Structure 1
């Protein structure tokens, strides 16, 4: 029994490594900037089939087929994310380097806004993949999730930071597992929260 479980775990490890390589490869295929978001959304879609339906057969052909379908939508979604983060980052840089009393007083509010934005962005791709909603509905729902589940969101952000640190210390982990494991944790967290909401709505 233990041997079978170990074999199953090793199979999952190999599949996650393979998915991570596909994610990195198709990110480079889109010249990085334009490939990152389609590759990320495609990975989320495949992980959704694994978490929700138990499907684990991920092929390069399936990845490429899905990649093409979500290319424009995912880049549109990603551009909005970058615009939001970019504007907050620029504002934070301005208030951080300025010695004006007004700007100094704005440092903490802008920092909190950045943390809140990151909390919201954690749910943007899972919601888009899970429901296929409009851009406005996706970001609105993501904001609601971040506000409704601050503890769970903080845990996910902490895990993502931990994974980034591990990847920095061990580049091989970055190559084979950082992306796929991060996306799995984010999506798994969202699915569990969605199940919790569905149960509460049925009571």
Structure 2
């Protein structure tokens, strides 16, 4: 049986919430893009483009932290190499689709064709993110588990905090809080900040996603 959410190190909990936030947002973004394809709206297009830029940055930073810190650290501790190869390979493949997604989002305006393309590629990115996060969460509890301990997770948390763009300090905690159950708040970093900015995030999401 997998350990309960609350029994996991805080860094592991935060990772699970980040995965959930990504998986939760992408269909909403695809839906907003589809509606723009049918009914162009300059203000909504600008808000959606800006919101995608933030979510894209968070996903890229998340993967960069794993590739630049977590996987090398686990490899140095003797982690199962095949598990690391699997996950890094999935990141490399995802990077191509994330780059296209970001590019199309930046082109979003009053052209319904661009919005339709954004909806299509967002749906594709969502399917790939779902598959990858399922693999990653499984490997963290299976082949990678023997070398994962509190010190590794604490180091990963510190690395992610130090390398995050400054604006994420108000967006990321509120973003994770928006998908956390009441008994999962241990995975929300800077919980007071998350609560302070959750209204701001909700307004940004309404502007972008409807």
Q: TM-score w.r.t. structure 1 length?
A: 0.35
- For normalisation by structure 2, the TM-score amounts to 0.34
- Higher-Rg member (1/2): 1
Between Structure 1 and Structure 2, which shows a larger proportion of helix residues? Answer: 1
